[in-house]
Structure 1
């Protein structure tokens, strides 16, 4: 597709920009030291923190300058070397999507991260890995509740390893973000309004593989977004109302419109719309120097309208409505700093279909003739679903004053918390599906029969008297004199409700002794879903041989327990709602029987999944350079799987499923980061550099809890790239980029309000396993074979430029342009055994007005 050159394009091309990933040191002080003719926005930046290996902090400036085309947290985290994305997250065909991408930290599954916004959990714990299966009651809702716009955030912390005992309910990492707090003159109102725009004509597409051509030479569909517009607007307003009170109001709206082909003559296209809205407010109260508090709310609404091409009345809408209400009180006493948090989280995931029946008919002129084909389709391909999660949470933390014991100094922290989760699933309407099978060697599998000129019963929606067009089966031509269904699948309405409790208690001692520093802690979590009490030791040790920041050696041993996943109870309850329905002829009554293809899943006594971590690293700061070298080893155990067994559930079921703790995995991540601490000045300009290299080795032994497995499948031998190994020992097929390099280069000018940010990313060649039909013989047995498709190295140069125009004493207009994949390189990936291309060069224009 050709890039559309326009006056706007040329005007914005004068400003270029990109982003940088922040290092483990907070850059707030660095940002303040840079001379600029335009004052920074008067909001509270993240305070400088003690360097902790495994924690990366990003400031408001980092969030603004990074070329984040989707304006969400996970897209921004491409700058973090400990975060990996799925192979297809940059697919050229899905760039109009607004749903945040799923990420993996140190090999954990994508739903095993903990997201926090303003101190409130933003994690989906009901069914975060729902694969969207339309009839089994699952919904692809994702791991986050509110898909918050990064324009609304002022700081972001990523805790990927060496995590304090204060945090629990994760085995991947913790991503914590906060909206802004006012730091203005009393009575003054400050804020910003931002707008960004891009469209498909502002992007380049590579059509060099057969799979790409299949997608992009056809008209736009849901899976092939080769024509779209995407735009967003966000606003922030904050003010210090008095010495005691301050307020922050914020909101955003992002929309994509995709004119997808309907598959019909009229209308030829249907506008598929996606939108993501955020709105919220925070009030800050500081009555005196010893006490401060804040309370507020955040709302999120992520909506996606869909339809199936060439299927009449197939519209469906998927929405994710989220609400977070939070309150926090901090108190300084003579003996400790105390913090109380009271939070409420609600996530509603809903799918609504226009029709509750799905049918496929033979073409019949005058009746079933809305499509020029031998078969015509109408109605739904799934059922209406309601998933609801409500969480009430109270937490208390105390950081006690330092005290001496011998030659060491100690600071003890302790905390406790309680959470109640009310979850529910419902299918409000009974739905049915009918597939047109006219012939089969097994007569019981024939679903659509010849009416032979007889009459349909009055009001029978599954019978049609019109003569069908001729159709062919095994080289023989047939014509039905009317048609009617004798078999289908029924999914009854139903509900599931559950109330679960979680609680935790932790204690931690931070010890300083001469050149040594240690953090020793333990966390106890009660998992009410599985009635488990879990103890997680946490430890960190560091040594500074020169008593300064020239060299710091760090190691630690930690255990992390996963958040409960209530889907194990959910699937057990809803699986029995599916039936096969049959009738002898068009005049007979329908008879239903349990559908053996939807067996119930038994829940045995499950252990809580956990990960054991070992970390070893060093940090060195020499003059203006900071170097971090880190190795993180993770071993994942007791992960939940859905296992098929030969145990019959009753006389009807020939087999059944049960949940177990058979999942496991491992990951090794090696990271080297080198960054300048302060900008380098050169002939009226300043330059900031950062380099990060990471090498990964990951094994994912078993699928997640949504996939069916058999124990013998996990241990059977297979041929993988010529090597014989157990099926479960294959390298992870996703989130497993072996090597990547990231380089950032930020440029500013003392005499010009122009800033240029470069972000270079290189990912080396990697092997993608593809199942082969050819068998390999080993010790007299033919083994399933996986051949390896070598994916060539991928390089991307992202750029962002901003030009600040001061239009008044307190008013600034900032023009920005983001260019992704500046060199228009054809980067490729494998999906479903086919080779596809990532998006080529793409332009995104934005403007921000600050006051």
Structure 2
């Protein structure tokens, strides 16, 4: 048995590696192969971790055709404040991870996990959720370390095909949503879809010391929708598409004594193709993902290991549109592709490119253990230097007509692009009576332009894994800074473990740590974006745009030099091993401070600025959060064998109490949140910022994972089950005002409670050995086996201006994924 260290526990042969109180959760390649993972993304595998919460929109029955990896929160932190590492190099996309609206004319949907990696490429995943080593920085939640596969010593190959569709999926919908779904014209409701997954890889050594592995995988989803809503005369079916491709190459060389070299290259572009409903020539694509390459050299000296990693990454969020204009016409004989009284739209959102390029150098020195006065030390230190260049660029002028007006009888258009003399039909308003056509009074121009940001960042850490008697003590310090925020941060990390009986079976863990968050590029790239916009205004159809009055927009988002957000953590836990089992109990308290939020000048009572519009927005450090999390896990250390069966399992439970006064950096604080006023909540007066959050807020959950392996002759049968019981979802909505006992009129917030949910996912795998290494296999994944009606989220609707009602969204019902393949 290996010595116990605070940083990690490695256990050989375990299908489900146990969750240890020190804060590391390790998922092996064997587990990845046996677990039902749906779209095959990283985050879908993390639902077995009790410290990870998913967004309420995860697995929505309205959008089963989507393939984006889910957003996750670790220990109450914002979903964009996790660090995603691929082979030790960050793959975070910091361009605008909170943006989620593809139909914005200025913003582009983003996500924190910059590259969507297929699970078939992964050797292991390590999740650091507490007591995180000082070697990691740039996060407030946790660290997700993804290690790709290495070349196999003997030549091997694997090819597989997987599919699922709406025909293999049960939909659960609220009664009023049925017709909306079937006649849907946008991606918020997807009545049909077809997904297919193709995976192939080759691996082996060319000679004695040079190994190579190459891999390709693709995830493709086709989503048929209606181009026009039912009330339009044209009912044309049109497909939207979602495509992710993974191209992967990795080489290793160990022909020089004590030196190991590896080179890896990952190219993972994603293309989500949309169209604007009720509009012709409206197709556009959201392009994301990117390229990441690294060269790693590890040299083993006599008393230390020296690791160097040089990497380059290029990540993007871009928009490519069919047209660079949008016009919302009324129906007429000339504009006849719509419906009378409903309009005839045309055009799209123009072309925007946002790019994040980073060159990074990382080095780590890990000394061998040495003794000083009967104390044993494992010192490690490291340095990271990176240079990033990012920009937001509108590639060409984009135009949008607004303030549509009627042309009076006898009026003649001075130009034909934003004016039509074809009489409008089907409009009941008196404005359009006896009209001679229509014209746009305003022309909004989004000018071609570029906003740049260059940034040099640095980090240094030093820590010591110290052992004396039964006590392990790990003090560490991380120093970080960059030229973007112009702040230097000091993040102390202190962890302690006590081996109670000296047999490494019972260990008590304590830790006090500080984690500084990511400096998102979005803050700077928002700044100045509105200044690219101008509006041309005219009073009649006889005026050409060159004679219109120009109103130049000014920047409405000020970027100030902000403090770096951080989380202070206290953690205490106990790990107990006995026979072939391990149990862990842990308590985590997190205080999030200086969180970055957006607030209007009016709410913050800021002075008017002559260089800005009357109302402008600024970023502040007024966000805060408090999180208390208790987790319990119990698992097998190695499979239990009886007869011809190997059995592994993992049980996880968590309780979370999370309070925060903000949603994300892109959502503006309202006056209640900014001033933290008194409100009435469930009949009691509390502070506004004590209201529970509306997402990532399920108070408790229970999960149980089992993996059974049975060998019968030349057949290998695997049966995996994942059971999840989650507490009811609470939705908070304002429901008028109420007079308090002190005579104050306070906003009254109402809780809408939803029932607890239960879900069972399963994978049944069968492998058949043909001869030698040749093998065929088939996997059947079944999600929501019992087809339970689980509510995952809801939206509020006001009825008759008084009562507030909730319209629920359900989890996808029973669905099947089928995979077949061949390996040799």
Q: TM-score range by the shorter chain?
A: over 0.9
Which residue does 1:495 correspond to in 2?
450
Encode CA deviations 1:238-263: one digit per residue, 9 max, x unaligned. Answer: 10222221111111011001111111
Contact 1:24–1:57 (Cα < 8 Å) also in 2: no
Q: Secondary structure at the match of 2:422?
A: strand
Report the equivalent of 2:722: 759
Which among 796, 800, 816 is matched to residue 843 of structure 1? Answer: 816
Match of 2:468 in 1: 513
Task: Look up the match of 2:291.
Answer: 323
TM-superposed CA distance for 1:718, in Å, is 2.4
Partner of 1:611: 567
More displaced, 701-710 or 501-510?
701-710
2:342 to 352, 372, 375: 375
C-alpha distance in 2 between matches for 1:398 and 1:468: 74
State the alpha-carbon separation in 1 of the partners of residues 561 and 490 from structure 2.
Answer: 18
- SS of alignment partner, residue 76 of structure 1: helix
User: Which residue of structure 2 aligns with residue 799 of structure 1?
Assistant: 762
Which of 483, 492, 496 pairs up with 1:541?
496
Of residues 148, 155, 162 in structure 2, which corresponds to 1:196?
162
Query: Does 1:61 find its partner at 2:20?
Result: no
Q: TM-score, structure 2 length as denominator?
A: 0.93
Residue 670 (structure 1) aligned to one of 630, 638, 645: 630
Counterpart among 153, 157, 166 of residue 126 in structure 2: 157
How far has the Cα of 1:432 moved from its partner? 2.4
3-state SS in 1 of match to 2:221: strand
Contact 1:690–1:743, Cα closer than 8 Å, also in 2 = yes
**Matched residue, 2:556:** 600
Mapped contact 1:135–1:491 kept (Cα < 8 A): no
Paired position in structure 2 for 1:413 = 380
Q: Contact 2:48/2:705 (CA < 8 Å) preserved in 1?
A: no
How far apart in 2 are the matches of 1:513 and 1:122?
A: 38
Residue equivalent to 1:294: 262
Aligned 1:577-726 pairs, distance under 5 A: 577-590=532-545, 591=548, 593-594=550-551, 599-645=555-601, 646-650=606-610, 653-709=613-669, 713-714=673-674, 715-726=676-687
| Structure 1 CA distance for aligned equivalents of residues 623 and 160 of structure 2 | 45
Q: Deviations over 1:826-846 (max 9, x none)?
A: 001333322111100001100
Shifted more, 757-766 versus 485-494: the winner is 485-494
Residue-by-residue CA offset, 1:610-633 (whole Å, 9 max, x unaligned): 111111100000112210001111
Name the count of aligned residue pairs.
Answer: 796
- The aligned counterpart of 1:259 is 224
Query: Secondary structure, in 3 states, of the residue corresponding to 1:466?
Result: coil
Cα distance change, pair 684–566 in 1 and its aligned pair in 2 (3 A): closer
| Contact in 1 for aligned 2:185/2:277 (Cα 8 Å) | no
Instruction: Provide structure 1 residue ranges, at least 5 long, that are not aligned to the other structure.
Output: 1-22, 32-45, 438-446
CA distance in 2, matches of 1:561, 1:127: 19
Counterpart Cα distance in 2 of 1:815 and 1:483: 61
Answer yes or no: is the 8 Å Cα contact 1:115–1:174 preserved in 2: yes
Partners of 2:463 and 2:611 lie apart in 1 by 55
User: Alpha-carbon deviations, 1:8-28, whole Å to 9, x = none?
Assistant: xxxxxxxxxxxxxxx985554
Deviations 1:172-205 (A, max 9, x none): 11111121112424xxx21211211000010111
Q: Is 211-220 or 826-835 further displaced after alignment?
A: 211-220
1:471 to 427, 430, 433: 427
Q: Deviations over 1:653-672 (max 9, x none)?
A: 22322211111112111110
- Paired residue secondary structure (1:30): coil
CA contact (8 A) 2:529 2:555 kept: no
Q: Is the 8 A contact 1:206 1:212 kept in 2?
A: no
1:768 to 709, 713, 731: 731
Deviation at 1:716, TM superposition (A): 2.4
Deviation string, structure 1 residues 574-619 (Cα, Å, up to 9, x no partner) = 12122232112122243355466x7522222211111111111000
Q: Is the Cα–Cα contact under 8 Å of residues 322 and 348 in structure 2 kept in the other structure?
A: no
Segment drifting more, 266-275 vs 802-811:
266-275
The C-alpha deviation readout for 1:22-48, integer Å capped at 9, x for no partner, is: x985554235xxxxxxxxxxxxxx9x9
Q: Deviations over 1:94-132 (max 9, x none)?
A: 111111111110111111111111222110122222243
The answer on whether the counterparts of 1:343 and 1:394 sit within 8 Å (CA) in structure 2 is yes
Which whole-Å deviations, capped at 9, do the CAs of 1:414-469 have from their partners, x for residues lacking one? 1111000100110112222234x5xxxxxxxxx42324232212x42111111122
TM-score by length of 1: 0.90
Q: Could you tell me which residue of structure 1 aligns to residue 77 of structure 2?
A: 108
CA distance, structure 1, for counterparts of residue 741 and residue 619 of structure 2: 32
> Alpha carbons of 1:319 and 1:461: their partners in 2 closer, same or farther (altered >3 Å)?
same
Secondary structure at 2:43 match in 1: helix
Is 1:812 aligned to residue 775 of structure 2? yes
CA positional deviation for 1:162: 0.7
Alpha-carbon shift at residue 564 of structure 1 (Å):
1.1
Q: Give per-residue Cα distances to partners, 1:64-83, cap 9 Å, x unaligned.
A: 11111110001121121111
Partner of 1:41: none
SS at match of 2:485: coil
Q: Matched residues in 1 for 2:134 and 2:163: separation? A: 43
Change (3 A) 1:24 1:542: closer
RMSD between aligned residues: 2.2
Determine if the alignment matches structure 1 residue 730 to structure 2 residue 696.
Answer: no
From 325, 329, 339, the counterpart of 1:361: 329
Shift of residue 563, structure 1, vs aligned partner = 1.8
Which residue among 343, 347, 351 is the counterpart of 2:311?
Answer: 343
CA distance, structure 1, for counterparts of residue 197 and residue 765 of structure 2: 18
Question: Aligned partners of 1:589, 1:636: CA distance in 2, in Å?
Answer: 55
CA apart distance, 1:745: 1.6
* 1:274 equivalent in alignment to 2:274: no
Instruction: Specify whether residues 28 and 643 from structure 1 end up closer, same or farther in structure 2 by C-alpha distance, changes over 3 A only.
Output: same
> Which position in structure 1 is the counterpart of 2:409?
452
Other structure's SS at 1:580 match:
strand
Deviation at 1:728, TM superposition (A): 2.4
Secondary structure of 1:326's counterpart equals strand
Contact 1:470 1:478 in 2 (8 A): no
Mapped to 2, the partners of 1:393 and 1:352 lie a distance apart of: 29
Contact 1:192-1:850 within 8 A present in 2 as well: yes
Q: Distance in 1 between matches of 2:794 and 2:385?
A: 42
Contact 2:672 2:688 in 1 (8 A): no
1:568/1:593 CA distance change after superposition, 3 Å: farther
> Partner residue of 2:358?
391
Query: Does residue 1:431 correspond to 2:398, yes or no?
Result: yes
1:719 offset after TM fit, Å?
2.4
Q: Equivalent residue of 2:761, what SS?
A: strand
Give 1:74's aligned residue.
43
Asked if the contact 1:220–1:259 (Cα under 8 Å) also holds between the matched residues in 2, the reply is no
Check conservation: 2:185, 2:227, Cα contact below 8 A: no
Aligned residue in 2 for 1:443: none
Quote the offset at 1:51 in angstroms. Answer: 6.1
**Structure 1 residues 133, 722: closer, same or farther in 2, change over 3 A?**
farther
Q: Which runs of 5+ in 2 are unaligned?
A: 1-6, 797-806
- Does residue 245 (structure 1) correspond to residue 210 (structure 2)? The answer is yes
